[in-house]
Amino acid sequence: MMTASEAVTKAATNRKKGKLSDARGHYQDAAKLYREQNDTLAYAHAIRHIADTYQEEKDLVSAKPLYEEALEIYRSNLDTKLLDLANTVRPYALLLEEQGDLGSARELWSEARHLYDSLRIREGVSECNTHLSQLQRS
């Protein structure tokens, strides 16, 4: 049987090749193992990647609850890395924007911008600024 870490590696490889269903299966295997091991933050990371694969396939309905669960875990855990939080807030903001929930998307883009700025990730700040600017015109 594969370890959770091996499953994540296989998932990432498949995702890079555009094999999203295969990637999702490996992320799901990893998530299950992380949950069994009570590794809450690794579980959140895995389900965020599952959500990402759904979002890449434009299946926003399947992605949304996974982002919400990952965000709930990250926001309730003092050991959460800011980058993990930012990298979950960002795609959830994209999803809400695509669904037309512009007010919530605006709030999340602002949060992501603050997080990326605190981490000095200029590309992230720039992307957030672009979305915030576009949303102000909406």
Q: Which of 9, 32, 65 is the last residue of a domain?
A: 65
pTM of the entire predicted model = 0.95
Domain annotation covers residue 71: no
Contacts of 112 (CB under 8 A, 6+ apart): 86, 89, 90, 93, 124, 128
What is the pLDDT, as a whole number, of residue 3? 96
Residues 53 and 92 in one domain: no
- What total of structural domains would you count in the chain? 2
Query: How many whole angstroms separate alpha carbon 74 and alpha carbon 132?
Result: 23
Domain annotation covers residue 137: yes
On average, the pLDDT of the chain sits at: 97
Burial (CB < 10 A; 0-12, 13-18, 19+), residue 137, is exposed
The residue segments making up the domain with residue 104 are 81-138
pLDDT average, residue stretch 71-82: 97
Domain annotation covers residue 94: yes
Condensed to tens digits (0 to 9), the pLDDT of residues 95-129 reads 999 999 999 999 999 999 999 999 999 999 999 99
Query: Measuring CA to CA, how many Å separate 63 from each of 12, 53, 59, 99, 136?
Result: 17, 8, 6, 12, 25
Domain annotation covers residue 75: no
Indicate whether 38 pLDDT > 90: yes
Domain annotation covers residue 74: no
Confidence category of residue 47, pLDDT binned at 50, 70, 90: very high
Condensed to tens digits (0 to 9), the pLDDT of residues 6-17 reads 999 999 999 999
Indicate whether 32 pLDDT > 90: yes
What is the pLDDT, as a whole number, of residue 138? 73
Domain annotation covers residue 36: yes
What is the pLDDT, as a whole number, of residue 43? 98
Indicate whether 1 pLDDT > 80: no
What is the pLDDT, as a whole number, of residue 50? 98
What b/e string do you get for 55-77 counting C-beta neighbours within 10 Å, with b at 16 or more? beeeebeebbebbebbbebbeee
Asked whether the beta carbons of 27 and 53 are under 8 A apart, the reply is yes
CATH classification of the domain holding 38:
1.25.40
Q: Which of 65, 91, 115 is the last residue of a domain?
A: 65
